[in-house]
Chains A and B, each alone.
Chain A
């Protein structure tokens, strides 16, 4: 399975050579001939996608949902850190009060 994962990782960098001629030229040609019909491609679904991709909060919430484990670990670590800091500070204050 390890070798498969390696191959799949490498496969991410692979590109397919389009069979018939130069695809860039055909895309550019299409772009230079945009007509009314093409404008319909900007449908509600696309606009919805665009809106989502432009929303920082949405992207963050998606990241949170997709990496829940990471955020839980971070939160727990932060809570433990602040807990320890609080205890140290409290002990320090207590000692100082006792001295006084």
Chain B
């Protein structure tokens, strides 16, 4: 599982939260960091078993996440999950803060709020429902184990999205080494159902727009990986060209060209479909 982010320029920050002390990192491009475990891990002195185990135990509790006292939360959580959209960032911050204190119900709510979001992002990049689910589970396990170290400098959703993208890119890299690209292209995803979140009431009402969006997504999913991934990162994930170039390890010019071509393909295909229908 190789990570793709090789950006440089970590600097310093301090965090006075409970249980977090100040450490110094002398690695290249980094200076000061706050999490003792991270530093131990980096310096090779970490005791992951003990550290993570205690973390998991704290989070899991005796009855784990599926304990009976969560039933009420589940009911309300399910309602929110139907809409798949957090009310606002403040809600997220509260849920994250509670999760950091070991509130299992709050973490479960986060899972219910964002599981489909993570799955969707993973699916568009990986184009395989099983891989997308694997990535979703992996992402939430990572979040579960490390949420105490999340400082909240960016929104939880952004953090989760970037984590998902990184995990997907890693997975694609591993896949590209093992699977013939031609075979994987032929083996396209069988079918999927697109639903729109509550913010898109107008779209839900407008059948033609909804169908057009589904058509666009269909074309994107069927694009070649070299076109699909940069386009998704740029147009659906709001990454900058520079970030995409770093992430997929391609020159920025290639990224721009591929995105331009991908948009042209989508446009042409939509035009063709329109002509065919009309």
Contact = CB atoms under 8 A, between A and B. Distances in A.
B2 to A, nearest CB: 6
A30 B140 contact: yes
A14 B195 contact: yes
Contacts of B203: 10, 13
SS of A interface (majority): helix
Given A14-B196, A27-B115, A46-B146, A55 B12 contact: yes
Interface residues of A, number: 54
B209 A10 contact: yes
Contact of A54 (B35, B195, B196): B35
Interface in A30-55: 30-34, 36, 38-39, 41-55
Interface stretch (B87-95, B117-125, B177-185, B222-230): B117-125
A57 B12 contact: yes
B8 to A, nearest CB: 9
Contacts, number: 220
Contacts of A3: 212
Query: Which interface residue of B33, B48, B65, B140 has the most chain A CB atoms within 10 A?
Result: B65
Interface stretch (A15-23, A80-88, A90-98): A15-23
Contacts of B145: 34, 38-39, 41-42
Nearest to A17: B193
A95 B185 CA distance: 77
A14 B64 contact: no
Contacts of A45: 1-5, 166, 170
B142 A17 contact: no
Contacts of A65: 240, 242
Contacts of B117: 15
B197 interface: yes
30 contacts: A7-B213, A14-B200, A16-B123, A16-B124, A18-B116, A19-B192, A19-B193, A27-B111, A27-B115, A30-B141, A31-B140, A34-B60, A39-B53, A41-B1, A45-B5, A47-B42, A49-B166, A50-B35, A50-B38, A53-B150, A53-B159, A54-B15, A55-B11, A55-B33, A57-B12, A58-B10, A58-B11, A62-B243, A65-B242, A66-B243
